[in-house]
Every structure is written in structure tokens, then in C-alpha cells.
Amino acid sequence: MTERIEVNPNIHFGKPCVARTRIPVVDVLELVGQGIPFDQIIRDCYPDLETEDIRACIRYAIEVLGAEDLHIAFTP
């Protein structure tokens, strides 16, 4: 996945982007979240993307969430 997603402090303030593009991962995920099919995302929004780039964005989000530590405050 590291060949498809990159974090560069000089691009979009260091937010994760699809490698070799300036397309933020979050923008791709928002389109996926709206239920837009991958082929339509590529055709209508980001013709520079490949299907595997979109899948890499989803995998990246899963990995980030899976590594996140949640701290829940408990008050009796």
C-alpha cells in the first residue's frame, strides 16, 4: 500500500494522498462513502486514479482506525 498512498509535508499540509497525485485520501473516501461506484469516481472525478488506488485508500483508513488508541473516560 505504501506505493499507492503517501504522506508528504509539502502536499496538502501532510495529509495522506494517492501517490504521484495531489488527491487526498479523504476526498476519495468521501466519494466511496456516498456510494459512488469506483468506475464512476475514476470516470467523473479522478481520471488519474486506478481501481487499486481507491482500494488502497480504503485499506489505509482501516489501518489508521485499527491502530488508533481509544481512551474512554468512565465515571461511576
What is the three-class DSSP state of 2?
Answer: coil
In a domain, 74, yes or no: no
pTM: 0.84
In a domain, 43, yes or no: yes
- pLDDT tens profile 39-61: 999 999 999 999 999 999 999 99
CA proximity to 56, closest of 38, 35, 34, 36: 38
For residue 51, give its domain range. 5-67
Within a domain: 76: no
Say what the pLDDT of residue 70 is: 64
For residue 34, the SS3 value is coil
Cα 36 to Cα 4: distance, rounded to the nearest angstrom = 21
Residue 72 domain-assigned (yes or no): no
CATH number reported for the structural domain that contains residue 59 in this entry: 1.10.10.10
**How far is residue 28 from each of residues 5, 25, 58, 63, 64, measured CA to CA in Å?**
12, 5, 9, 16, 15
